[in-house]
A and B are shown apart, each in its own frame.
Chain A
Amino acid sequence: MSATDTTGAGGTSSGANRPDPDPTGRRALRRRRARSVAGTLLSLALTLVGLLLVTFIIGRVMPIDPVLKVVGDRATQAQYDAAYVAMGLDRPLVVQFVTYIGDVLTGDFGRSISTGQPVAQDIARVFPATVELATLGTLIGVLIGVPLGVIAAARRGGIIDQVARVVALVGYSMPIFWLGLMGLLIFYGMLGWVGGPGRQGIIYDGMVPDVTGMILVDSLLAGDWAAFQDAFSHIILPASLLGYYSLAYISRMTRSFMLEQLSAEYVITARVKGMSEGAVIWRHAFRNIAIPLVTVIALSFGSLLEGSVLTEIIFSWPGLGSYITRALLSGDMNAVLGGTVVIGVCFVVLNLFSDILYRVLDPRSK
């Protein structure tokens, strides 16, 4: 993080060596930009540390004893005490936190007590599974949700609008647990169209070399079409399920953004000038909702990246959500904190990304 910071600053200062026709104005502008970049980075760093601090404190005041998880129910007091000291819990909270932050800065997230493995290694294993699922889920949500919302707004009160409303209502109100099980029962149990719980069929397990940890990508990289089909048949149902929930949200938001635009004066003008309805909707109104829509999609993607615990449990999907939940319930704070950092960074990156997209999409910011 600090590396990006210095390169950014270095870039601006090297430019100052060239002769400059209007030194004061541009330098001031650059300084302001550098300051704003530095400010953003600083606030991001503070956000992350704050996030960690809160998580850390919650973990320490939680009435769950992590030592018991390690030594088990049958341990003697002496074995318990030995583990307590070995885990560093005898030191003051402040010292524990500062040590932890120091370790994290050197890339050491500690060892998880519920898996016995380094947290970084655990996350490297579970996070790609979540990313794969969330990406496909969001993709489905956007590809269906956005057109659905636009059409629902354009034909307000029409059949498509009604359908979209029911779809969204069901999406909001149906428990994902039930829907997931029904999906499995119908598409896997009865029709046999998709693969069952788990990321892969038994035969394909370990066939594709692990590059990104995302089996769809890895099987394509390896050129193993059969493994790809197998992985796809396993991911499509949970991804559609998550996609359905983000579709419900995205289509509703798209519809309301769109309705606002369609009642604006420029739309009336365009229509009066005889522009076709398609052009009015897609070329004019839709462009204007692109910006808020990006935020909606980014947020929806972010929430899927946190991992959908219930979906992961039903589909035996070894993702981040169930990893963190399991860790939390056993007082495994290294794993919880590690997961929190990953999610925090994801949100920060998504925020930055949507900021950048704003600038690309909004001509005024040029």
Chain B
Amino acid sequence: MTIRLTTRALLLASALGLAPAAWAETPADTLVVAHTIDDIISLDPAQSFEFAGNDVNNNTYDRLVDFDPLNPEAGFQPSLAESWEVSEDGTSITFTLRDGVTFHSGNPVRAEDAAWSLQRAVKLDKTPAFILTQFGFTADNVEEMITADGNQLTLTLDKPYAPSFVLNSLTGNIASVVDKETVLANEQDGDLGNGWLSTNEAGSGAYELAAWRPNEQVQLTAFEDYWQGAPEMKRVIVRNVAESSAQRLLLEQGDIDVARNLTPTDVDSISAAEGVKIEDEPRGRILYMGLNQKDELLSNPAVIEAMKHLVDYEGITGSFLKGQFVTHQSFLPLGYLGVLEEQPWTYDVEKARQILTDAGIDGGTITTRVRDLREYVDVAQALQASMAQVGLTLNIEQMTGAQVLDAYRAREVPIFLGEWGPDYSDPNTNAATFAYNPDNSDEANAVGLLAWRNAYAVPEEMNEATVAATLEQDTEKRAQMYKDIQRQYQAEAPIVPLFQRIEQVAMRDNVQDWWSGGAVTSVIYRQVTKGE
């Protein structure tokens, strides 16, 4: 009876044509990726500052310098600029542009386009503009500071910055080169094409934007005239699949090639599945604990020291954050120039208790707000348990990310648990926010600085060291300077880096050379292939 019923049901299903759809594989020249892409607000490279938006732009645009997805350790490489020269006094860099490169429109890529793109980003002054304006460019002076002449582009800087600092910043999405003529043809009310570029693209990258349906999918098609050769994957489709289990099922069935947001549980269970592999890639995000110095208890150096020993680093990375994070106790992520790999703190409740007793602290209560993300809440609860053992009571209020961020920027979160992602691929991106805070007063309103948000009055010599590191011309010395800053930071700062994010990407066995962008940039598709 049962068998007959099933057979009949199968026949019925096949008759309705339901079965074939589910067993289809993705086409050989198409890469299908499941990802959460609901954070895209704008695709204008001068404005986009979200992960998924940068994932798109990194493939539709080129920059003067870019990373090689097959050799990311090599750092920035010539891209639209085939060479560059730094002036002797270090205050200007001249780039020579590559010949014969065209935009998707067919227009040639000229030094003029590159200069205009950078000028445009400075003038529009959207959130990521600081990556460029930190070199002294303003809306008023940018046309004199960034100039094009023939196939050469010259950047004039207000100080002799470290060349590595400038070039690393130019790998950022904001420095993408846009097609001046196409963008200006779509300008409205003097917006420099911002409205149009929010949903369209005018780049020279390996892919063209075929479609973007918000919260649903992004479609890219290969640019056949790409200067480094047309990519093998002719279409890339990124589907918004919010649920990890749904991503897993799609991958198991072969309806997608890559799943980027699997929970550790789903990674565990899919790793044994046939035809699927997992690749771990350290990303740039650092999960840290910020102890607000406005809180009387938390501003006590003994409490700061004790808190560093109340985090169960191994326990946490071995259980609920397994596979997603590794312990990392300095503010520069692995993969960055000058990263410090020393890990001075261990989970030691006895030691923490001793430190508190010696300082005459016998308990206290802290009420903090934590974003309602599983990872953060779990870490907060682990902390709550270990704090309880030394007589400290931690009350946790869960709220949405936006609510916590609001309070954090208003310096109202006593213990902040969350992540910080670097904005560009230079160590200054983190040093300038963790270890730099020239004015700690409320009036300074330096909401962008993590040190200010935690009311951490960074010592004067650390502020100076952070600035000096941006001017050091010798890259080796520069790396050493960052190591020194991080050592001092570990010794005294109330902001405690805990873990570094690992992205676990699950993909079909035949997908080769996938690169999510490591710690330094966003995903790149052009080198990806699908074997048999």
Contacts and interface: CB of A to CB of B under 8 A. Distances in A.
A125 to B, nearest CB: 7
A318 B448 contact: no
Contacts of B215: 115, 126, 318, 322-323, 326
Given A185-B249, A193-B19, A236-B18, A79 B24 contact: no
Given A68-B402, A188-B22, A201-B24, A116 B199 contact: yes
B130 A193 contact: no
Contacts of B249: 184-185, 188-189, 196-197
A314 interface: yes
Interface stretch (B145-153, B225-233, B250-258, B341-349): B250-258
Interface in B174-196: none
Contacts of A233: 16-18, 21-22
Given A197-B249, A201-B255, A74 B448 contact: yes
Interface in B249-269: 249-250, 252-253, 255
Contacts of A194: 18, 21-22
Interface string A190-201: 001111111001
A252 B94 CA distance: 77
Given A113-B41, A125-B213, A196-B255, A202 B17 contact: no
A115 to B, nearest CB: 4
Interface string A41-75: 00000000000000000000001110011111111
B158 interface: no
Interface string B94-116: 00000000000000000000000
A316 interface: yes
Contacts of B239: 198, 316
Given A74-B127, A233-B21, A316 B403 contact: no
Contacts of B23: 192
A76 B198 contact: no
Contact of B21 (A64, A77, A117, A195): A195
Contact of B405 (A73, A77, A184, A229): A73
Contacts of B213: 125, 318
A81 B26 CA distance: 47
Interface residues of B, number: 60
A210 B24 CA distance: 24
Interface in B454-474: none
A338 interface: no
A203 B27 contact: yes
A115 B41 contact: yes
Interface in A80-118: 80, 82, 113-117
A295 interface: no
Nearest to A189: B249
Contacts of A74: 49, 127-128, 130, 423, 448
Nearest to A206: B211
B156 to A, nearest CB: 23
B206 interface: no
Contacts of B27: 202-203
- Of the candidates B27, B237, B249, B423, the one having the most CB atoms from chain A within 10 angstroms of its own CB is B249
A251 B237 CA distance: 42
A313 interface: yes
Interface in A136-158: none
A234 B237 contact: no
Nearest to A229: B17
Contacts of B127: 71-72, 74-75, 79
A202 B32 contact: yes
A234 B250 CA distance: 12
A302 interface: no
B363 interface: no
B41 A316 contact: no
B242 A196 contact: no
Interface string B206-240: 00000101111101000000000000000001011
B371 to A, nearest CB: 12
Contacts of B130: 74, 76
A125 B199 CA distance: 15
Contact of B400 (A201, A229, A329): A329
A91 to B, nearest CB: 21
B13 interface: yes
Contacts of A196: 22, 246, 249-250, 253, 255
B241 to A, nearest CB: 5
B405 A197 contact: no
B125 interface: yes
B43 to A, nearest CB: 8
Nearest to B211: A206
Contacts of B125: 79, 82
B406 interface: yes
B38 A326 contact: yes
Interface in B1-55: 10, 13, 16-24, 26-27, 30, 32, 38, 40-42, 49-50
Given A71-B127, A73-B405, A76-B130, A234 B241 contact: no
B388 interface: no
- Of the candidates B127, B211, B423, the one having the most CB atoms from chain A within 10 angstroms of its own CB is B127
Contacts of A318: 213, 215-216, 240
A197 B245 CA distance: 10
Contacts of B41: 69-70, 113-116
B214 A313 contact: no
B438 to A, nearest CB: 14
Contact of A193 (B18, B26, B40, B216): B18
A230 interface: yes
A314 B49 contact: no
Interface in A313-333: 313-316, 318, 322-323, 326, 329-331
A65 B406 contact: yes
Contacts of B42: 116
B447 interface: yes
Nearest to B241: A316
A329 B18 CA distance: 36
B253 A189 contact: yes
B243 interface: yes
B134 to A, nearest CB: 12
A75 B128 CA distance: 8
Contacts of B50: 72
Contacts of A82: 125
A243 B325 CA distance: 41
Given A75-B127, A322-B215, A315 B253 contact: no
Contacts of A192: 19, 22-23, 253
A202 B250 contact: no
Contacts of A70: 41
9 contacts: A63-B403, A116-B41, A126-B215, A194-B18, A196-B253, A202-B237, A233-B16, A314-B246, A316-B242
Q: Which 9 pairs from chain A and chain B are nearest by CB?
A: A115-B214, A229-B17, A192-B22, A318-B216, A197-B246, A233-B21, A233-B18, A64-B402, A195-B21
